[in-house]
Amino acid sequence: MYNIAVLGGDGIGPEVVEATITILDKLPIEFNYTYADCGDACKEKTGVALPDETIEIAKKSDAVLFGAAGETAADVIVRLRRELETFVNLRPVKSLEPDKYGDIDFMIVRENTEDLYIGDEELTPEGAIARKKITKKASDKICDYAFKYAKDTGRTQVTCVHKANVLKLSDGLFKEEFYKIAENYPDIDVNDFYVDATAMYLITNPLDFQVIVTINLYGDILSDEGAGLVGGLGMIPSANIGDNNGLFEPVHGSAPDIAGQGIADPAATILSACMMLDYLGENEQARRVENTLIDVIREGVNVTPDLGGEATTQQMAEYIASKL
């Protein structure tokens, strides 16, 4: 039995999480769900967006399934990643149905603990200062993870993304450590690009990428761009993984404009649950769910309006569950 902490969060988060649990409950696996509060409504009610009790529930679980963060995202999901010491953020960019680009399938391995994205800022008389911190330890750890991931998944190339021509000390260090780690993996081809060039290459040559490893802010931006290649944010899952914890969440936001209408696309959360199953070692069941979801999307009937159908969030989930 696996103990899963369930954090619905804000907006459409609770809807897509409950839809995903409908599917998980069809698998021959026993899950024990512990629901915990967080987010905008939680802050309004308690004064705290991420209660200590929620953090403890998350830490004691085998995995955390998260829905969506609203205005309190920095206080909830960013802090939760830090509290769980999840140093890597995995963001797959994969075509679920045929499109003009072909069969896109690459992974963005994003460092999760430092860089500008952690929000180390302060006001000054002149304006504001944000600190960008890049360390050898974190750079080595994320680069080594990227190479191991490539090796374990049969990939043959890892690309380092940086801006070392301008940020010579910080990004320069990241690039230098990347090539040091690469020496331990002689069977893996390596290259590196500036982040602005990479943004263009993702559009012009997306099939050239297999694994991208990069720092926190660049990874966040490029993964959203990657989402645009394969159907939008509603199709992109993510995994936050540390030495002892795993946190799984769709990349999309809380979409308050459609919250409560029952039309939110659950695909990204379902795929996040597949990544959770892989993390738990349930690879066969992960592929069952993923392949069934792909089949349903390609049928194009029992799917939400954004995918061309007329189904509600829960109806789409129940249809996928029935096919399992």
Q: Which residues are catalytic?
A: 117, 163, 196, 220, 224
Pair 60, 30: CB distance under 8 Å: no
- Coil, strand or helix at 237: strand
Neighbours of 260 (CB within 10 A): 11
Pair 97, 297: CB distance under 8 Å: yes
Q: Which residues contact 228 (CB under 8 A, 6 or more apart)?
A: none
Query: Where do the DSSP E strands lie in 85-156?
Result: 88-94, 105-111, 121-124, 127-130
Beta bridge partners of 65: 6, 248
Pair 65, 5: CB distance under 8 Å: yes
- The CA–CA distances, whole Å, from 64 to 56, 75, 199, 238, 245 equal 11, 17, 31, 12, 8
Neighbours of 60 (CB within 10 A): 11
- Intra-chain end-to-end CA distance of the chain, in Å: 20
